[in-house]
């Protein structure tokens, strides 16, 4: 049973956390964290690499002793050292360490002095005045700790919310701020188009920062002010979302935006690069000795490094810096490249809009085609189509197509992949269609081996075109299927099949790592909405955002093709 990459990454991070609390060698700890970060960018299955005796110490950040640790995880599923540490250090202590006010050193002190082992005990100690008496702490710190615990519990621990949700929650606040500030921009993970965000990081220009900050913190919907300064403040809105604002002068906007956009890993890597060239990079600009070289725009700062401008979606320190230096960044796919949608439902099954409404909405968006992919009969709660009803829908589409100019409804289906890998409708009807999208909806709990075999079997059906929402995950709700995605992708490549990026904000499946893996393996992708109403055809932008994070270019995405180009690709 191969170990997942994420398990290895989590174990290395946990080990680093534990050693941090114990106050062990910081270089060793950093090595574990670097290794974890490096592995999180690897798309191949590491345990399979090891089983094939590939040399993993050639991966960035992985030396000989690190590869021994990784092999131990792969062989035994565990790390002996970590097992020992877990006996010594309770998990709740690691949780405390993650509070901004504490960190490993202070956590260690509080644990030794006051025997604090959990957030609850920490809260009690702060409220009863014990913490402020500990050397190096003081009243202010104790108050800040309490504040932070409150935010933490208000949010139910450290939770992330979907980017689309955050956008809705923060929109009125942005409207309120917009005419009070210049260049108001959302930075952070939001700008990098991550599927979930922890908070909203704003950057803006103001000629009168104290006044602007006052307007920021006095907004009606502010529930609590976490910190307030002339250039940086942080508030929590009544909806529970935290919003940070950084104000800068116009001339420093680019550098500030770059810093706040992150990711931290990306900007830290750039900073190290600057040091190697006797330059200094910080949130105010890039300097030679004390002379400012660039700061007004991000483009100017990247130029100082002699590299291409790096799109925010790529700033994760996963090879983009090296690529930008060699002038080899991908030319990312853009929303405007999309010529049609290949996954959409109608009111014939569980959609809210009729066939005609869906087609006209898609045409109104400037598309050349829309595939109607209603559910198949297995999905009884959606009133899935049997062969007879599908054949009626085919006739209705032919009829409608004869009336629509410069637009084509593609006759299609989202057919269930049954437990044994056969498809839910007979080949005799599937072969009448322009396109067959295939999905796993039931029997999600099969073993990795069975699930993989099931999907491979389905792909052998010559009518199979696209594997929809390939991992089946729902963000925050449902885990990924246990499946060997690398093998699935290789088989897709061999059989002329495609995989989907499902643009529904609950799914965004494939994710960025898998999309990149598909590209490396030469499998093309359909970016589709799975729209259940005319409105949700607009989800396309989220799918494109995910595709961009996965380094995909126009050519990697099949629905950037003209209708005739697409039809050629769909011929297996
Ligand atoms: P999130 O909020 O967890 O979804 O992810 P981010 O990337 O938005 O992280 P956040 O909100 O903690 O910080 C926003 C940006 O600020 C981050 O992307 C880079 C920058 N930043 C924060 N802390 C540091 C730091 O310690 N060093 C550097 N170089 N940059 C930082
Ligand atoms: Ca953030
Ligand atoms: Zn669907």
201 lines ligand 1 (CB under 6 A): yes
Cis peptide before 263 (omega within 30 of 0): yes
501 and 518 inside one domain: yes
Output the CA 260–ligand 1 centroid distance in Å.
6
244 and 261 inside one domain: no
318 and 340 inside one domain: no
CB atoms within 10 A of CB 550: 26
Asked if residue 161 lies in contact with residue 189, where contact means CB atoms within 8 angstroms, the answer is no
468 and 391 inside one domain: yes
348 lines ligand 1 (CB under 6 A): no
Nearest CA to ligand 1 atom 10: 188
471 and 512 inside one domain: yes
Residue 148 in any domain: the answer is no
Q: What is the pLDDT of residue 156?
A: 53
Q: Give which of 422, 407, 425 is closest to 355, Cα–Cα.
A: 407
CB atoms within 10 A of CB 435: 23
Scan for tokens 């409105």, then name that residue. 535
Q: For 106, which DSSP code?
A: H
Residue 106 in any domain: the answer is no
CB atoms within 10 A of CB 439: 26
268 lines ligand 1 (CB under 6 A): yes
Q: What is the pLDDT of residue 90?
A: 79
CA dihedral for 440, 445, 448, 450, sign (positive or negative): negative
Residue 97 in any domain: the answer is no
Q: Atom of ligand 1 at shortest distance to CA of 268?
A: 29
316 and 363 inside one domain: no
Residues with Cβ within 8 Å of residue 494, at least 6 apart in sequence: none
Q: Give which of 168, 160, 173, 290 is closest to 220, Cα–Cα.
A: 173
The total domain count for the chain is 4
Q: How far is residue 438's CA from residue 416's CA, in Å, rounded to a whole number?
A: 6
209 and 222 inside one domain: yes
Q: What is the CATH number of the domain that holds 15?
A: 1.10.150.110
Boundary residue ending a domain (229, 248, 267)? 248
Q: Which of 152, 166, 264 to mutate to test the pocket of ligand 1 (most atoms within 8 A of CB)?
A: 264
Boundary residue ending a domain (34, 58, 89)? 89
Q: How far is residue 119's CA from residue 123's CA, in Å, rounded to a whole number?
A: 6
Q: Atom of ligand 1 at shortest distance to CA of 190?
A: 8
189 lines ligand 1 (CB under 6 A): yes
Q: Atom of ligand 1 at shortest distance to CA of 267?
A: 29
343 and 440 inside one domain: yes
What domain range is 231 assigned to?
161-248
Output the CA 316–ligand 1 centroid distance in Å.
11
Contacts 24+ apart (CB under 8 A), 70-73: 70/8, 70/12, 70/35, 70/39, 70/46, 73/3, 73/7, 73/8, 73/11
309 and 232 inside one domain: no
188 lines ligand 1 (CB under 6 A): yes
> H/E/C letters for each residue in 253-282?
HHHHHHHHHCCHHHHHHHHHHHHHCCEEEE
Tokens representing 432 are 């009448």
Residue 120 in any domain: the answer is no
Q: What is the pLDDT of residue 316?
A: 96
Q: How far is residue 308's CA from residue 407's CA, in Å, rounded to a whole number?
A: 38
Tokens representing 3 are 């170990």
Tokens representing 36 are 């974890």
Q: What is the pLDDT of residue 9?
A: 85
Whole-angstrom CA distances from 250 to 158, 191, 362, 489 are 34, 20, 41, 48
Output the CA 73–ligand 1 centroid distance in Å.
30
Maximum Cα–Cα distance across the chain: 82
Scan for tokens 């494939």, then name that residue. 510
Coil, strand or helix at 235: strand
316 lines ligand 1 (CB under 6 A): no
Q: In what order do the strands lie in the sheet with 222-228?
A: 182-186, 200-205, 242-248, 232-237, 222-228
Nearest CA to ligand 1 atom 23: 264
199 lines ligand 1 (CB under 6 A): yes
Asked if residue 553 lies in contact with residue 515, where contact means CB atoms within 8 angstroms, the answer is no
Boundary residue ending a domain (325, 349, 380)? 325
260 lines ligand 1 (CB under 6 A): yes
Q: What is the CATH number of the domain that holds 256?
A: 3.30.210.10
Q: Atom of ligand 1 at shortest distance to CA of 199?
A: 2
Output the CA 313–ligand 2 centroid distance in Å.
14
198 lines ligand 1 (CB under 6 A): yes
Q: Atom of ligand 1 at shortest distance to CA of 244?
A: 11
Q: What are phi and psi of 370, to 5 degrees?
A: -145, 125
Output the CA 259–ligand 1 centroid distance in Å.
8
264 lines ligand 1 (CB under 6 A): yes
282 lines ligand 1 (CB under 6 A): no
pLDDT tens for each residue of the chain, 572 residues long:
677 787 788 889 889 988 988 888 988 998 998 898 888 777 788 888 898 888 888 887 788 889 999 999 999 988 999 999 988 887 778 888 878 788 888 898 999 999 998 888 899 999 999 999 998 899 999 998 998 888 776 555 556 788 998 998 899 999 999 999 999 999 999 999 999 998 999 999 999 999 999 999 999 999 889 899 999 999 988 877 899 999 999 999 999 999 999 999 999 999 999 999 999 999 999 999 999 999 999 999 999 999 999 999 999 999 999 999 999 999 999 999 999 999 999 999 999 999 999 999 999 999 999 999 999 999 998 999 999 999 999 999 999 999 999 999 999 999 999 999 999 999 999 999 999 999 999 999 899 999 999 999 999 999 999 999 999 998 866 778 999 999 999 999 999 999 999 999 999 999 999 999 999 999 999 999 999 999 999 999 999 999 999 999 999 999 999 999 999 999 98
312 lines ligand 1 (CB under 6 A): no
Ligand positioned closest to the Cα atom of 263: 1
In DSSP notation, 342-358 reads S-B--TTTT-SS-HHHH
383 and 320 inside one domain: no
Output the CA 253–ligand 3 centroid distance in Å.
43
401 and 498 inside one domain: yes
Tokens representing 32 are 């574990």
Nearest CA to ligand 1 atom 25: 264
Tokens representing 133 are 């008496």
Residue 134 in any domain: the answer is no
Q: How far is residue 255's CA from residue 260's CA, in Å, rounded to a whole number?
A: 9
Residue 379 in any domain: the answer is yes
Output the CA 264–ligand 1 centroid distance in Å.
5
292 and 242 inside one domain: no
Nearest CA to ligand 1 atom 22: 264
Q: Which of 201, 268, 317 to mutate to test the pocket of ligand 1 (most atoms within 8 A of CB)?
A: 201
Nearest CA to ligand 1 atom 4: 197
Q: Which of 157, 188, 232 to mutate to test the pocket of ligand 1 (most atoms within 8 A of CB)?
A: 188
Tokens representing 423 are 């498809």
Q: What is the pLDDT of residue 153?
A: 67
Tokens representing 72 are 């131990």
Q: Atom of ligand 1 at shortest distance to CA of 271?
A: 29
Q: What is the CATH number of the domain that holds 549?
A: 3.20.20.140
Residue 308 in any domain: the answer is yes
In DSSP notation, 284-343 reads TEEEETTEEEE-S-HHHHHHHTT-----GGGTTTSSHHHHHHTT----B--GGG--EES-
Residue 240 in any domain: the answer is yes
259 lines ligand 1 (CB under 6 A): yes
Asked if residue 520 lies in contact with residue 493, where contact means CB atoms within 8 angstroms, the answer is no
Terminal-to-terminal C-alpha distance of the chain = 33
Q: How far is residue 150's CA from residue 510's CA, in Å, rounded to a whole number?
A: 35
Nearest CA to ligand 1 atom 18: 262
Q: What is the CATH number of the domain that holds 228?
A: 3.30.460.10
């Amino acid at each position: 049973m191969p170990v997942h990459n994420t398990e290895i990454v989590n174990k290395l991070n946990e080990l680093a956390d534990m050693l941090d609390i114990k106050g062990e060698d910081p270089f060793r700890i950093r090595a574990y964290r670097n290794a974890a970060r490096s592995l999180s960018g690897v798309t191949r299955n590491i345990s399979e690499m090891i089983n094939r005796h590939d040399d993993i110490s050639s991966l960035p950040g992985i030396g000989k002793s690190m590869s021994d640790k990784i092999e131990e995880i792969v062989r035994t599923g565990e790390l002996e050292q970590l097992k020992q540490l877990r006996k010594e250090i309770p998990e709740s202590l690691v949780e405390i360490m993650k509070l901004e006010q504490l960190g490993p050193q202070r956590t260690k002190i509080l644990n030794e002095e006051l025997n604090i082992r959990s957030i609850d005990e920490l809260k009690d100690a702060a409220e009863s005045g014990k913490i402020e008496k500990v050397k190096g702490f003081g009243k202010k710190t104790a108050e800040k700790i309490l504040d932070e615990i409150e935010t933490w519990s208000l949010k139910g621990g450290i939770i992330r919310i979907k980017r689309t949700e955050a956008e809705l929650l923060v929109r009125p606040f942005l409207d309120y701020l917009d005419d009070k500030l210049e260049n108001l921009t959302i930075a952070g993970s939001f700008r990098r188009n991550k599927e979930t965000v922890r908070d909203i990081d704003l950057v803006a220009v103001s000629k009168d920062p104290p006044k602007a900050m006052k307007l920021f913190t006095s907004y009606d919907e502010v529930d609590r002010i976490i910190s307030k300064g002339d250039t940086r403040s942080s508030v929590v809105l009544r909806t529970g979302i935290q919003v940070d604002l950084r104000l800068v002068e116009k001339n420093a906007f680019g550098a500030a935006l770059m810093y706040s956009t992150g990711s931290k890993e990306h900007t830290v890597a750039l900073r190290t690069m600057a040091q190697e060239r006797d330059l200094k990079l910080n949130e105010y600009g890039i300097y030679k000795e004390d002379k400012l070289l660039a700061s007004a725009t991000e483009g100017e700062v990247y130029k100082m490094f002699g590299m291409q401008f790096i799109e925010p979606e790529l700033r994760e320190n996963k090879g983009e810096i090296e690529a930008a230096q060699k002038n080899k960044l991908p030319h990312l796919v853009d929303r405007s490249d999309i010529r049609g949608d290949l996954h959409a439902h109608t009111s014939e099954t569980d959609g809210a809009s009729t066939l005609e409404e869906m087609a006209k909405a898609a045409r109104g968006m400037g598309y050349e085609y829309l595939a109607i992919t209603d559910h198949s009969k297995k999905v009884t709660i959606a009133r899935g189509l049997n062969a007879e009803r599908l054949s009626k829908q085919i006739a209705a589409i032919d009829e409608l197509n004869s009336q629509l100019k410069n637009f084509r409804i593609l006759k299609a289906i989202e057919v269930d992949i049954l437990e044994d890998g056969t498809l839910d409708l007979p080949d005799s009807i599937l072969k009448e269609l322009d396109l067959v999208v295939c999905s796993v909806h039931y029997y999600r709990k099969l073993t990795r081996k069975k699930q993989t075999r099931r999907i491979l079997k389905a792909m052998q059906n010559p009518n199979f075109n696209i594997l929809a929402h390939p991992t089946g995950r729902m963000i925050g709700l449902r885990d990924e299927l246990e499946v060997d995605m690398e093998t699935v992708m290789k088989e897709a490549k061999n059989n002329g099949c495609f995989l989907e990026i499902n643009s529904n904000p609950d799914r965004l499946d494939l994710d960025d790592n898998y999309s990149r893996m598909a590209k490396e393996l030469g499998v093309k992708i359909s970016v589709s909405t799975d729209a259940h109403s005319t409105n949700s055809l607009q989800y396309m932008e989220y799918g494109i955002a995910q595709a961009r994070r996965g380094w995909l270019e126009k050519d990697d995405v099949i629905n950037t093709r003209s209708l005739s180009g697409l039809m050629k690709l769909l011929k297996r």
